[in-house]
Amino acid sequence: MPLDGEGAWPDATEWTGKIYSEGWRTAEGGTSPVMEPATGEPLAQVGMASPADVERAGARAARAAPPWAAAGASGRADVLMRAGLALREHSGVVREWIVRESGGVPAKGDYEITAALDQLQNAIGLASQPLGEVLAARAPGGTSLAWRVPLGVVGVITPWNAPLLFAMRALAPALALGNAVLLKPDPLTPVSGGVLVAELFREAGLPEGVLHVLPGGAATGHAVAADRHVAMVSFTGSTAVGREVGRIAGEGLKRVALELGGKNSIVVLEDADVEAAAAAGAMSSFGYQGQACVAAGRHVVHADVVEAYTEALVRRAQALPVGDPRLEGIALGPVISERQVARIERIVDESVAAGARALTGGSREGLFYPPTVLDRVDRSMPVFREEVFGPVAPLIPFRGEDEAVEIANDTEYGLTAAVHSRSAPRATALAQRLRTGMVHINDVSAKDAANAPFGGVGLSGNASRIGGTASLEQFTQWRWMTAPGSL
């Protein structure tokens, strides 16, 4: 277990079996074990928040929000800065939890820590952004002002695949802009996505009541989205659950930001650098076992280079060792759960039965699923239509650019894409025809940046964006004031 031992951070005797709501408290929803996917061994026990726990946390957050907003931009920025320093200080413990709890390799843990620090840094700057404007007054000599104010209490519901990053991506700007937060981490990763976050901000001096960490399942998420104190819900996860969150929040006329799934394409034109494109394709489909909304779910490759691209992609797939992520040299760890690996297995097996061919991989061992490359894929197959959320790369050849665009756009999702060509103008022209919220030239599909408006269209989201100044739109609301004279 990562955090045993005298003087360990955080003190497990405080948080084991509890939720964080003005300190660590016994949860009415009981406790749940945290399991290590690579070994099947228990790592810890966490508290599970009941709907009653959520209601109490919402009331406490509503009381804590006004004084936190009144602390001012510099006061809030100081807390976020100290949280970043605490994350750097405890990065070794945080990395170990990410590796053991989520099944990612150490490099994935390092990426999450770096990205979370970027989110904190960006939020610190966000706190001091201009928040209003002077409007032309209708009456001579009058004053008309509009400015952004905090929403009050924000609900943040996060997934298991990047628990620290996705918590910080919403939490940091929400706090920086003066809101209190109810954070519900996924029950598969409640420590790296919740317990550690609470401890980082407690160490940073965040006032009690401003942050509440409430692990739990569907009932807990329902309670957060429905809570009368919550003005806005930020959800990252599957499209199916996102629909339900949107429905519940909509009943309360709450703002909701949904960042959902994707069926993302890497388009490789005949003039592309094939080796570089295959490297980007392998990273996009196989990184963290393909368990990312921005993973490449289709490799749409020009027929003139598909043979060379396939050979390069298979070679790269076969060079990626699979195993316990704590072992040196391992590239892919386990899939997060039996439910998820069974889904990957079903999609691949049904597609192979329908005529696809597995050039490498294609069968699991326990929770370990190897990098898999499929050719002879057509549009009727599950691997073409469904988000796999596993290390599977389907190949679809094309002849002309119109056909490439039509294949890539043949999905209800619209999150991200990548286009590879030695001609940047040509790649850009094609990229502009793709129906996605994000697109990258000669790069991976799986990109994120704290200062970028991240999000998708269609089944990938509700046109909301998070990141950079887009977070101002999400976590504040306008207030207008007039006066007959000058102020």
Which positions are catalytic?
259, 293
Question: Which of 351, 357, 406, 335 minimizes the C-alpha distance to 383?
Answer: 351
3 state SS for the chain: CCCCCCCCCCCHHHHCCEEEECCEEECCCCEEEEECCCCCCEEEEEECCCHHHHHHHHHHHHHHHHHHHHCHHHHHHHHHHHHHHHHHHCHHHHHHHHHHHHCCCHHHHHHHHHHHHHHHHHHHHHCCCCCEEEECCCCCCCEEEEEEEECCEEEEECCCCCHHHHHHHHHHHHHHCCCEEEEECCCCCCHHHHHHHHHHHHHCCCCCCCEEECCCCHHHHHHHHHCCCCCEEEEECCHHHHHHHHHHHHHCCCEEEEECCCCEEEEECCCCCHHHHHHHHHHHHHHHHHCCCCCEEEEEEECCCHHHHHHHHHHHHHCCCECCCCCCCCCECCCCCHHHHHHHHHHHHHHHHCCCEEEECCCCECCECCCEEEECCCCCCHHHHCCCCCCEEEEEEECCHHHHHHHHCCCCCCCCEEEECCCHHHHHHHHCCCCCCCCEECCCCCCCCCCCCECCCHHHECCCCECCCHHHHHHEEEEEEEECCCC
386-424 as b/e: b if 16+ CB within 10 A: bbbbbbbbbbbbbeebeebbebbebbebbbbbbbbbeee
Structure tokens at 151: 């929403």
**Burial category of 17 from C-beta neighbours within 10 Å (exposed 0-12, middle 13-18, buried 19 and up):** middle
Under 8 Å between Cβ of 43 and 16: no
Cβ neighbours of 24 (radius 10 Å):
22
